Amino acid sequence: MLEAGPLDMFYGDSHIIQGVSIAVREGEGIAILGRNGVGKSTLLKGLMAGGPLVRGPIRHEGAEIGRLSNFERARRGFGFVPEDRRIYPHLTVAENIAMSGHAVRAGAAPHTLDEIYGFFPMLRGLSNRLGFELSGGQQQVLAIARAVYARPGCLLLDEPTEGIAPVIVEEIAERLIEMRRASGLTLILAEQNVWFARACTTRLYLLDSGRVVFAGSWPEFDAQPELSARYLAV
């Protein structure tokens, strides 16, 4: 459903992403792995027209979308959860979720709040709580719920596990696996948590200094244990 690259992305004079190509099929889950600062967030933001200058083709369902602005990409069915979550502090949980109603594709309807609380039961009791009153873990779950509300075809998650308690990490993984199974959601996941990435995806791209140093399935990745040692260990 998405074929991008080779892509180059820049912040000012810094050439951050260098010749990266990624592709993801309908309903597939892929992970973008790499240490801090290798360019995972830059890549996702570039795919969403969210900051870096991007050179190179991005094709979505056969159409070139590289010139579309962020809201137009959102309305084509891309749901984005940025690394800093960006929950609106002055809006309630319910209002935060409904914000992505603007991204609902023409002729489609968003989920109901009740369905969303069905997927993410921990938010149900918080419905009227304001954004700034939530813990980091609650904000993360809310950011995912907000993206899911518009029924995106493809979800882009930027390190959803960062700074989150293990129980919530497990809960998020379960939800994502379930949603991928139930609705054929496509997933592009930037992560450093290998356990979580493996649970949610079938393939991975390993980045280092803005380049892909490995692309393949999880078993292929496991067959080369030096990759993990060289590009992921802290």
Partner 1 sequence: MVDYVLSPLFNGLFMAMVVFLFTTGLTLIFGILRVLNFAHGGFFMIGAYVAFSVVRLVGGETSMLAYLAISTVAGIVVGLLGLVVERIIFRPLQKVDEAYSLIATYALLLITEGAVKAVWGVSFHSVATPDLLGGAVFAGDLFMPTYAIFIILVGFASYALLEWVLQHTDTGKLMKSVASDPWMAGMLGVNVPRFYTFIVVLGFFLAGIAGGLLLPNQTLSPNLASTFVIQAFGALVVGGMGNIRGTFLAAIMLCVIDSFGSLLFSEVPGLFFYIAMTAALLLRPQGLIAGARL
Ligand X SMILES: Nc1ncnc2c1ncn2[C@@H]1O[C@H](COP(=O)(O)OP(=O)(O)OP(=O)(O)O)[C@@H](O)[C@H]1O
| Site for partner 1, rule CB under 8 A | 48, 50-51, 69-71, 74-75, 80, 82, 86, 88-91, 95, 99-104, 146, 150
Residue 58's binding partner, choosing from Mg ion, partner 1, ligand X, none, with beta-carbon cut-off 5 to 8 A by kind? none
Tell me which residues touch ligand X (CB under 6 A).
11, 14, 16, 34, 36-42, 51, 83, 159, 192
Using the minimum distance from each CB to partner 1, give the nearer residue, 185 or 204.
185
Residue 170 binding Mg ion, by CB under 5 A: no
Query: Does the footprint of Mg ion cover residue 83 (CB under 5 A)?
Result: yes
Residue number with CB closer to ligand X (14 or 183):
14
Nearer to ligand X, 11 or 132 (CB): 11
List % helix, strand, coil for the chain (3-state, nearest 5). Answer: 40, 25, 35
Token code pair at residue 90: 């002055």
What residues from 28 to 47 belong to the interface with Mg ion (CB under 5 A)?
A: 41
The answer to whether 61 and 1 have CB atoms below 8 angstroms apart is: yes
Min CB(213)–ligand X separation in Å: 13
